[in-house]
Structure 1
Amino acid sequence: MVARPRLRLACVSAAAAGLLIVPVAVTGPAYAAPAATATPPPDPGTDVAARLDAAVRQTMRETGTPGVIVGLWVPGKSSYVRAFGVADTATRAPMTPGLLMRIGSETKTFTVTALLRLVDQGKARLDDPIGRYIDGVPNGDRITLRELAGMRSGLFNYSEDADFNKALDTGPRDPFTPRQLLGYAFTHPVNFPPGARFEYSNTNLILLGLVVEKITGRPLHEVIARDVLEPAGLHHTLFPTGAEFPEPHAHGYTAQTASGKIVDATGWNPSWSWAAGAMVSDLQDLRGWARTLATGTLLTPATQAERLKTTPTGIPGAGYGLGIFDVQGWIGHNGSIPGYESLTVYLPQARATLVVLLNTDVLHDGKEPSAFFGEAVTRIATPDHVYPGHLPSAPKSG
């Protein structure tokens, strides 16, 4: 299958000395020629920026990443915002910070936020069984909305089903409906009793998307647009209803399952991941969303507190709440979908934000390329709190 694992996110935390970042220009050369630069070298005393530039370029070479955008912001300190490499390998158009990108599983943060806003309005309860809203769910009388959002339902992950994988591989531009996706999942027995443990599954989010639609009487993309994106002030983020991908966007590259050949996945239909991974955004919107998500701006304090209660994931230092990770104090999510990977996290103690966007999901040494960039940046910026790029890949998802 072309979809890749989606569990890891940055596990850096606040260093006592703070984050060492400095301003640099936001455009960069094609990654094939890292010695050339479109910007002047950093001023004296800004050696950290030069080290970050060199580390990102080296990581691009090692992972074969066409292009990457990195943003690191800390109030009271200078920002590091850079785009490296190319957005299109055919035309060699440069990657720039304003390009739209597919964000994969970061979509989960928006879907769960939409649900939690309904909880705040008294239209749903976290401990409602899914069977109250959706018929035909295995253990539907026992699995709660809380367990679905926290990845503790025990339901089989449809994106690991062989028939689903075959359908996606042979028709990556074909549309999928939520009910089709659930059909793949429900042919399998449940993996464990509700609440017994953590297991990442896209099936959970498809169900929650349907719950949001059932309660509101509106399509999920409309609910997220009006009830999440608009109040959050996000103007370049959208939930596609098909394969649409507004300009300007970067092209994304993935590996075919059978041949391993690298192909352009830009126009592939993300409907197969729907509420679990179909959304599009850009650097600045994700910068704002990181803080909104981590601080609970759109939710009541009580609901945000419930969201941040985490379950161990099996990844050292990483817990999962309700559609959100907490890794050594960094709160947010990562994402991966054919052609693209993303990482958006916020550290409340330092009010720091890190966003990484790249236009490939091709694994390197069996690991996601976003992990290597996270490690490269944090090893320099927060040397006592380095993103664990060495971690193995996690289960498949959107």
Structure 2
Amino acid sequence: MFRILLALILCAGPILGQAGITASAAQATQAVHIEVNGEQQSWKNAPLIIKGSTFVPLRDVVTSVKGTLKWDNRTKTATITVGRDKLIHQAGSNSIKVNKVDLATGVNSRTVNGTLMVPVRAMANAIKADIKVQRTATGQMSVSMVTDQVSLLNSEVASVDTYLREINYPGMALIARDGEVLLKQGYGLADEQTLNRPDQKTRIASLSKSFTAASILSLVEDGKINVQDPISKYISGIPKGDQITLHMLLSQTSGLPSAFGRGEGTSMEETVEEIRHKTLKFEPGSAYLYSNSGYVLLAYVVEQVSGMSYADYVQQTILKPLGMKNSGEASRKVHTISGFVQEDNTWVTAPYYVSQSGSGTIYSTVDDMLKWDRALYTDKILSQDTIEQMYEPYSDKNYGYAWILKENGTNRTVFHNGSGGGFATAFSRNLSDDITIILLGNHAGMDMTSLLDEVEAQTAKALQLQ
């Protein structure tokens, strides 16, 4: 991890056309002050403003960040290495390939007096930097850049990072041991012009269910409900509602089918009314069937009993006490990274992910999800006795309450995965060795169970776990 503060104070030069960028235009830029890690440096070439966009000299930037640049004069292509990242850019193009991912720059790079100039925002994005651009009252511009300070990689698990890069995993990943972060990285695109960074908010899909289960169990601990209560006590009209218990909904053994309508703006009451007309797949409690509908009903119970919306209850009872400031129930007002779906062998931005409270509406970050992981080792939200109920296998699928149990000898792991709207996620908690793995992907169709198994195995090997 490295940090660079790049302060560029430059005049707002003349608007230049596609051609005719001359030495006199370059000289129109006033003196530039450059700081790298608090130390002033000088560049051979000054930044330029061209048609309202600020351009910086590629080779000088790469040198400043202690990277390397190889130039192929035949193809007019620069190959840049910065840390573990490989960037490729062809002069005159409007994209930068970052670790095999094409990042759109918005404008073409320019060659000025033999120097390749690249748009500063695109370059900052390619090296996962923050950038701040300000214009003074006199027309001068101040551009400050701080490179990636959030990614982290311990050499012990470098092989896992290499694996995720090799398979072109898209999204965020975090690995921790005893709560200490060993790997925190972003991979692929957050949108067409932005790379994924591990501090970004994203939809977590069905990992949301652990917050729903915890909300129900919080009400149980408060003495307001009992997991053996029939759903008919709280919601009328559910098929065989006098036989379906909250326990069955939590453990996915109610017999309710999974799907429900996902029209944007559909109220909880409308979704519950739809569920009232579903046909059970089997007698309540007799088998396992994963059901999003069941967790919607649980969220509705939370609302009926608490007198609060599901979003507010989760926020007040779990997220706020744990300091999970970058988590909550998603809406269009909250900016999260984009999900991607495949169309005609091309990845395109997915439509807005619509779900319903209880089943898959939470957004979060890998850091916040680690806070949730750590809280489950304490009594801060629920007692350990109650938390153990979440891990118990209640069917032949080893599904507990929003956690799936996986045992290998004395090794005990609980996990869950999720998908929807261009997102694919997984969360693994090795309770025996205290290894946490969080994968928040943003491409549809990934087999997250298999990916999680592989990452778990590679992590165990890297850390020399039994």
TM-score using structure 2 length: 0.62
What residue in structure 2 maps to residue 264 of structure 1?
349
Provide Cα deviations, 1:28-72, integer angstroms capped at 9, x if missing partner.
8634259xx969xxxxxx875443233112211xxxx5x322211
CA offset digits 1:327-378 (Å, max 9, x no partner): 23222422212121221222222122111111112x2xxxx34345324423
What secondary structure sits across from 1:87 in the alignment? strand
**Counterpart mapping for 1:89-108 below 5 A:** 90-91=192-193, 93-108=194-209
CA deviations over 1:275-329 (Å, ceiling 9, x no partner) = 1001100010011112323656411233223222212354xxxx11112222232
Letter in 2 for 1:56: L
Counterpart of 2:352, as a letter, is W
> Does residue 327 of structure 1 match 2:406?
yes
Which secondary structure does the structure 2 equivalent of 1:51 belong to?
helix
Per-residue CA distance 1:243-277 (angstroms, 9 max, x = gap): 3323xx32211246xx7864313x6153x332100
Distance in 1 (alpha carbons) for counterparts of 2:86 and 2:246? 44
Correspondence 1:126-205 to 2 at 5 A: 126-159=227-260, 164=261, 168=262, 174-205=264-295
* Distance in 2 between residues matched to 1:295 and 1:193, nearest whole Å: 37
- Rounded to whole Å, the distance in 1 between the matches of 2:417 and 2:454 is 16
Identity of aligned residues (%): 23
Structure 2: distance between partners of 1:221 and 1:151: 22
One-letter identity of the residue aligned with 1:231 = P
- Kept in 1, the 8 Å contact 2:392–2:405? The answer is no
Which residue type is aligned with residue 337 of structure 2?
A
Q: Distance in 2 between matches of 1:28 and 1:287?
A: 29
Separation in 2 of the partners of 1:76 and 1:285? Answer: 12
Render the CA deviation track for 1:198-240: whole Å, top value 9, x for unaligned. 1100111111111111111111111110011122221111013
For the aligned residue pairs, the C-alpha RMSD in angstroms reads 3.0
Aligned to 2:382: 299
Structure 2 Cα separation of the partners of residues 239 and 360 of structure 1: 20
Q: Which residue of 2 aligns with 1:352?
A: 435
Matched, 1:243 2:332: yes
Q: Secondary structure at the match of 2:359?
A: helix
Aligned: 1:72 with 2:179: no
Match of 1:59 in 2: 167
Correspondence for 1:116: 217
Rg larger in structure: 2
CA 98–274 in structure 1, closer or farther in 2 if over 3 Å, else same: same
C-alpha distance in 2 between matches for 1:192 and 1:371: 26
CA gap of 1:27–1:145, structure 2 versus 1, over 3 A, is farther
> Does the 8 Å CA contact 2:190/2:338 hold for their aligned counterparts?
yes
Taking the aligned partners of 2:225 and 2:252, their CA distance within structure 1 comes to 18
From the superposition, tell whether residues 356 and 188 of structure 1 become closer, same or farther in structure 2 (CA, over 3 Å): same
Contact persistence 1:149–1:322 (CA under 8 A):
yes
CA–CA separation in structure 2 for the residues paired with 1:376 and 1:301? 29
Q: Quick check: which one's helix share is greater? A: 1
CA distance in 2, matches of 1:26, 1:196: 52
Q: Which residue identity lines up with residue 119 of structure 1 in the other structure?
A: V
Cα separation, 2, equivalents of 1:26 and 1:129: 55
Contact 2:413 2:432 in 1 (8 A): no
- d(CA) in 2 for partners of 1:105 and 1:76? 23
Aligned with 2:329: secondary structure? coil
Rounded Cα–Cα distance in structure 2 between residues aligned with 1:370 and 1:28? 26
Equivalent in the alignment of 1:288: 371
1:338 — aligned with what? 421
Q: Which range moves more in the overlay, 141-150 or 370-379?
A: 370-379
AA of the residue aligned to 1:57: R
Q: CA deviation at 1:178?
A: 2.2
Structure-2 change in CA distance of 1:382 and 1:119 (3 Å): same
Among 75, 94, 100, the residue aligned to 1:32: 100
1:320 alignment partner, SS class: coil
Mapped contact 2:209–2:359 kept (Cα < 8 A): yes
Contact kept, 8 Å, 1:158 with 1:181, in 2: the verdict is: no
Q: How many residues get paired?
A: 320
Cα separation, partners in 2 of 1:269 and 1:371, compared to 1, 3 Å: closer
CA distance in 1, matches of 2:424, 2:183: 19
Q: In the superposition, relative to structure 1, how do residues 150 and 97 fare at CA in structure 2: closer, same or farther (>3 Å)?
A: same
3-state SS, counterpart of residue 345 of structure 1: strand
- CA contact 1:311–1:321 (8 Å) conserved in 2: yes
Matches within 5 A, 1:306-325: 306-314=389-397, 319-325=398-404
Query: Higher relative contact order by CA 8 Å / sep ≥ 6: 1 or 2?
Result: 1
2:304, 2:84 → 1: CA distance? Answer: 43
Relative distance call for 1:33 and 1:116 in structure 2 (3 A) is closer
Compare 118-127 and 287-296 and name the one that shifted more.
Answer: 287-296
SS of the residue aligned with 1:200? coil
Structure 2 residue runs of 5 or longer lacking an equivalent are 1-82, 88-97, 103-125, 129-153
Is the Cα contact below 8 Å between 2:338 and 2:442 reproduced in 1? Answer: yes
- Secondary structure at the aligned position of 1:311 is classed as coil
Between the aligned partners of 1:49 and 1:59, the Cα distance in structure 2 is: 16
Higher strand share: 2
Aligned 8 A contact 1:229 1:237 in 2: yes
